């Protein structure tokens, strides 16, 4: 285990408080000893030989499941240092470009008797669809070191050629329905077409059926749609207070967004963006559709300009290890090569901080560990732990 950044504070900075010595009959209480200064956060590398890890989930016993983009699912020890097994039964994936084995999530009722896990991945087309791919979600039981009783519960419609913009983040709602983010596959029109699931957030039951209370997108709309007008949403997290789904998505040249994905809402892509077409001069005159989303579309909570940070995994902090961060939002970033910490005032982003930007790491995922530490995955193959 190696510490990669952050000075380690002394075990305790001893503050000597000299009480006033009573003279004669008078006296005074000793001054109160101030609380010790909290130790600085330490970012420590636990594992450094993963192969393009994309997502992780912590099992009830503390062990971890980690997806690797080329198509393998690993079980790591609870301390994150050791690869214990490669899980069998993982579906075939289209690993070209941004595709591959992507997100992993545990069922909200996961237990030894019902060890259901969910994998999102770029599923290759077969037969007449050979050469295409689309985001899919697999549900299976984890039996020892194998996935069994596997069923594909979601397939993006349609499959397309190319290897970009699969989205593929998953988050369970409080009612145990499953949200899945679906990229627009780098195509111009699908995000506004309710007859396709590209460029959407979908909400499904755990068996893949559409909940009866999903919003309506009119005649011809596919089942399961929750919100539309997204580009490539690669971060998804449920707000711990409101239960609403927050998503982060890639803009083009700038214009990365953070949104609350609400039922029936339209977020404007490709008609509005604070970003610009690739190759445009840096500035505001090139913003797509003028930039401003309202009143036709939903304004983002915050956005990044003039260049993209490429936001990735997203997590609200609810732990006790860093009480000063409780209620804040953390986002990985790829092009931005930083862990972003967003301070919130209700649904308003009041401050943003890019952390660990000097490491040159593409932070792919961020998850909260049971003890309140943050677990980070990087494209360079590292599992890191941010703790004090």
Structure confidence by residue, pLDDT tens digits, 334-378: 999 999 999 999 999 999 999 999 999 999 999 999 999 999 999
> Is 115 inside a domain boundary?
yes
Quickly tell me which residue has 């930083």 as its tokens: 338
Confidence label for 14 from pLDDT (cuts 50, 70 and 90): very low
Confidence label for 4 from pLDDT (cuts 50, 70 and 90): very low
H-helix or E-strand spanning residue 200? strand 200-204
CA–CA separation, 287 vs 294, rounded Å? 14
Instruction: Look up the CATH number of the domain holding residue 259.
Output: 2.120.10.30
Mean pLDDT of all residues in 111-127: 98
The whole-number pLDDT of residue 1 equals 44
% of the chain residues with pLDDT over 90: 89
Q: What's the gap between Cα 19 and its chain centre?
A: 51
Segment 172-218, tens digit of pLDDT: 999 999 999 999 999 988 999 999 999 999 999 999 999 999 999 99
Given a cut of 90, whether residue 24 has pLDDT beyond it is: no
| Structural domain boundaries, residue 74 | 38-387
CA–CA separation, 171 vs 314, rounded Å? 10
Quickly tell me which residue has 């239960």 as its tokens: 243
Residue 147 corresponds to which tokens in the numbers above? 């996935």
Q: What is the number of structural domains in the chain?
A: 1
> Is 182 inside a domain boundary?
yes
Given a cut of 90, whether residue 45 has pLDDT beyond it is: yes
Residues 368 and 319: beta-carbon distance below 8 Å: yes
> Is 20 inside a domain boundary?
no
The alpha carbon dihedral of 182, 177, 119, 341 has a sign of: positive
What order of strands is seen across the sheet that includes strand 374-378? 2-5, 42-47, 383-387, 374-378, 363-368
The whole-number pLDDT of residue 318 equals 98
| Biggest alpha carbon–alpha carbon distance for the chain | 100
Mean pLDDT of all residues in 132-139: 98
Segment 240-284, tens digit of pLDDT: 999 999 999 999 999 999 999 999 999 999 999 999 999 999 889
* Residue from 361, 357, 373 nearest 317 by CA: 373
The whole-number pLDDT of residue 143 equals 98
> Is 290 inside a domain boundary?
yes
Given a cut of 60, whether residue 21 has pLDDT beyond it is: no
> Is 2 inside a domain boundary?
no
Exposure b/e, 188-209, CB count within 10 A at least 16 = b? eebbbbbebbbbbbbbbebebe
What mean pLDDT value characterizes the chain?
Answer: 93
Residue 152 corresponds to which tokens in the numbers above? 């594909």
The yes-or-no answer on residue 165 being catalytic is: yes
CA–CA separation, 113 vs 98, rounded Å? 35
The whole-number pLDDT of residue 31 equals 60
**26 against 117, higher pLDDT:** 117
Residues 121 and 101: beta-carbon distance below 8 Å: yes
> Is 15 inside a domain boundary?
no
The whole-number pLDDT of residue 162 equals 96
> Is 9 inside a domain boundary?
no
User: In angstroms, what is the C-alpha Rg of the chain?
Assistant: 23
**231 against 39, higher pLDDT:** 231
Peptide bond preceding 113: is omega within 30 degrees of 0, i.e. cis? Answer: no
N- to C-terminal Cα separation, the chain: 15
Q: Find residue 253's DSSP bridge partners.
A: 276
Residue 96 corresponds to which tokens in the numbers above? 């070209």
Q: Find residue 105's DSSP bridge partners.
A: 118
Residues 80 and 1: beta-carbon distance below 8 Å: no
The whole-number pLDDT of residue 34 equals 75
**Least confident segment among 21-30, 67-76, 119-128, 149-158:** 21-30
Predicted TM-score of the model (pTM):
0.91
The whole-number pLDDT of residue 299 equals 98
Q: Count other Cβ atoms within 10 Å, centred on residue 109.
A: 11
> Is 300 inside a domain boundary?
yes
Given a cut of 60, whether residue 3 has pLDDT beyond it is: no
Catalytic residue among 165, 230, 250, 293: 165
Cα–Cα–Cα angle for 88, 185, 271, rounded to 5 degrees: 150
The whole-number pLDDT of residue 374 equals 98
Instruction: Give the number of residues written for the chain.
Output: 388
Given a cut of 50, whether residue 106 has pLDDT beyond it is: yes
């Amino acid at each position: 285990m190696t510490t990669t950044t952050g000075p380690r504070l002394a075990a305790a900075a001893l503050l000597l408080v000299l009480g006033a010595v009573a003279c004669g009959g008078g006296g005074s209480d000793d001054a109160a000893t101030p609380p010790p200064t909290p130790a600085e956060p330490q970012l420590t590398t636990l594992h450094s030989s993963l192969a393009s890890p994309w997502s992780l989930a912590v099992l009830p016993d503390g062990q971890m499941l980690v997806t690797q983009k080329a198509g393998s699912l690993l079980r790591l020890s609870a301390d994150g240092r050791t690869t214990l097994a490669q899980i069998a039964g993982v579906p075939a994936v289209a690993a070209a470009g941004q595709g591959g084995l992507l997100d992993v999530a545990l069922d909200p009722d996961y237990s030894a008797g019902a060890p259901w896990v969910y994998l999102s991945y770029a599923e290759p087309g077969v037969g007449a669809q050979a050469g295409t791919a689309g985001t899919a979600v697999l549900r299976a039981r984890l039996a020892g070191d194998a996935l069994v009783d596997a069923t594909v519960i979601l397939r993006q419609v349609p499959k397309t050629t190319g290897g970009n913009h699969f989205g593929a983040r998953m988050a369970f709602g409080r009612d145990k329905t499953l949200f899945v983010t679906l990229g627009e596959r780098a195509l111009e029109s699908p995000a506004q077409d309710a007859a396709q699931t590209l460029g959407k957030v979908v909400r499904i039951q755990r068996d893949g059926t559409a909940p009866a209370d999903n919003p309506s997108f009119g005649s011809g709309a596919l089942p399961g749609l929750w919100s539309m007008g997204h580009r490539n949403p690669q971060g998804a997290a449920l707000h711990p207070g409101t239960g609403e789904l927050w998503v982060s998505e890639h803009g083009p040249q700038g214009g990365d967004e953070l949104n609350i994905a609400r039922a029936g809402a339209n977020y404007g892509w490709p008609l509005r963006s604070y970003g610009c077409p690739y190759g445009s001069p840096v500035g505001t005159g090139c913003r797509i559709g003028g930039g401003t989303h309202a009143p036709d579309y939903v304004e983002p909570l915050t956005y990044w300009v003039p260049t993209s940070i490429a936001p990735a995994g997203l997590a609200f902090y609810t732990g006790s290890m860093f009480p000063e961060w409780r209620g804040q939002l953390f986002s990985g970033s790829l092009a931005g090569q930083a862990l972003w910490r967003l301070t919130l005032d209700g649904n308003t982003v009041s401050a943003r901080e890019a952390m660990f930007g000097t490491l040159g790491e593409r932070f792919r995922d961020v998850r909260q560990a049971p003890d309140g530490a943050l677990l980070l995955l990087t494209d360079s193959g590292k599992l890191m732990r941010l703790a004090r």
